[in-house]
Amino acid sequence: MKNKLTGLGIAVITPFKEDLSVDHEALTKLVNYNIENGTDYIVISGTTGESVTVSKSEKKEIIATIVNANNSRVPLVLGIGGNDTSDIIEEIKTTDFSHISAILSVSPAYSKPTQEGVFQHFKAISLASPVPIILYNVPGRTSSNMLPETVIRLASEFSNIVAIKEAAGNMSQYFQLIKNKPDDFLIISGDDDLALPVTLAGGVGVISVIGQAFPKEFSKMIHLGLEGKTKEAYKLHYQFLDIISYIFSENNPAGIKAVLEQLNLSKDQVRLPLVVASDSLKTKVGSFINNFKKS
């Protein structure tokens, strides 16, 4: 499992047509584009995939499309999370994991449980899951920070909890996790702008948003980091800082969808309450892409 979750993972979008139905043709195109350009694994139905506005039947169809397009070339990770523990367990019980290497499960949002509540939530998921689990901490969306002590406790007590996608945007918290984790527990960056520093500090890579638009270069950056080639890796890191800032300036995934549309990979449609990127953001994105292609 360690090798499967090393390098560049992408939090793949769900492309929509103009009528907001799922665009399976664009999704297939995006999967192929990423695999052919160095993406190491794909995360399905995360925040970037607009999981909260995708129905259960649509989710199954999206999984089927990605499984078919992937054709067992790279590992697939499936997002199964929420703030109703029993509902998550029921979804796990009714999911076909034949082509899924792990699940990504976000710390409960909105309910704002205590650290003990977070622990008990993931304990229940651990006992129910037939595949390894990647914890996901993203306080900016959940309004609750899963503290390093809770993560280490879970990692130490449950062998199928194998990694965390950490996205608190806090290097000190990353350092605490890397310093105190069990040897075989993986720290994966969930912050695109910190992906390289975290990798160099002892993480194993990133589950990225921007990476799906520029997989060749972003994957190269992460693998240079894993090889300890700091100078070469940071050269790429600085090239990406502006576009990372742009795509998160309004909402995710409207920003990345604006990028992918200009790369002719998918349309920029999102479902309400999200709205498409503003004209000013699209102009910034277009300028970046033009300059990036010249560099």
Query: Which residues are known to be catalytic?
Result: 136, 165
Nearest to 166 by CA among 224, 120, 207: 207
Q: Give the 3-state DSSP-derived string for 190-255, with helices as H, strands as E and coil as C.
A: CCHHHHHHHHHHCCCEEEECHHHCCHHHHHHHHHHHHCCCHHHHHHHHHHHHHHHHHHCCCCCCHH
Per DSSP, the residues of 83-104 read S-HHHHHHHHHT---TT--EEE
Nearest to 106 by CA among 62, 138, 75, 153: 138
The β-bridge partners of 206 are 8, 189
